Structure 1
Amino acid sequence: MAAAGKKEEETLVRMGGDKLILRGLRFHGKHGVKPEEKTLGQKFVVDVDAWMDLAAAGDSDDIADTVSYTSIYRIVQDVVEGPSHNLLESVAQSIANSTLLKFHQISAVRVKVEKPHVAVKGVLDCLGVEIFRQRKP
């Protein structure tokens, strides 16, 4: 395992396994470096994992003890459908930063942003990026 991957794994073990999971969020956005990407736009697919302690919510069965999936969904929607970014790295970073800024309960977030329809000669499912960001101590 690469050093970066091992460090991330050790961090996840320390944080525990509790996380909110959002998969396959689909939006139309106008991100990319090509002019046609900024004018016509395209579909983006986003996955988010948000680490936080879910024990209180599990015990209480009360939404006040967790973060609503809908709130994270809206962050993703606002970023992907919002102002254009050149790079997927920047789209993912905006989602991660906004999530950590808005929800103090979330200790780390993993964001994957994919373009399923790209102008590349060859067969592929998608191209994309995945980032992992932790709250700074």
Structure 2
Amino acid sequence: MSKIFLEDVKIYAYHGVLPEENIIGTYYIINAEIHTDLWDAADSDDVNDTVSYADINEIIHIEMNINSKLMEHVAGRIISKIHEKFAQVSYVKLRITKTSPPMKGEMKGASIELEKSFLLGGITENQ
């Protein structure tokens, strides 16, 4: 199996349960791991034979621009949109980190991580 990674995508967005989080906003760091077969693209050198990481990046930016209370909700939408656009994707792992969560103490951020396997030809990709 082949993998595509988007690492440390930094986006300013407005997510959170507290009203001020939806007004002030903060930076989020997104990391994505996508499993798919990349061997046709390796042979052909044709973008039509791959899953475009530019398209994945665009999906992430669009969904991060839609305000939500929970990062889990945003991550679920991103994973669903990736699979809608690229049915050949067998697995997605997505981590979203809120860099300045409104909590006591000093920290780099608070993160959630969702992962999902998809059926391909009746077989589930196991991780």
Q: TM-score, normalised by structure 2?
A: 0.89
Distance 2:12 2:99 in 1: 11
Identity score, percent: 31
Runs of 4+ in 1 over 4 A off after TM superposition: none
RMSD of aligned C-alpha atoms?
1.1
Distance 2:116 2:102 in 1: 29
Distance 1:61 1:98 in 2: 25
Distance 2:45 2:114 in 1: 31
Counterpart pick for 1:127 among 99, 104, 110: 110
Counterpart pick for 2:10 among 23, 26, 32: 26
Aligned length: 120
Distance 1:134 1:45 in 2: 22
Shift, 1:123, TM fit: 2.4
Match of 1:79 in 2: 63
Distance 2:72 2:39 in 1: 32
Shift, 1:128, TM fit: 1.0
Counterpart pick for 2:86 among 103, 113, 128: 103
Match of 1:12 in 2: none
Task: Kindly report which structure 2 residues correspond to 1:4-83, keeping only aligned pairs within 5 A, or say none.
Answer: 16=1, 18-82=2-66
SS of 1:26 mapped into structure 2: strand
Distance 2:21 2:103 in 1: 13
Deviations 1:28-61 (A, max 9, x none): 1111000001112111110111100111111111
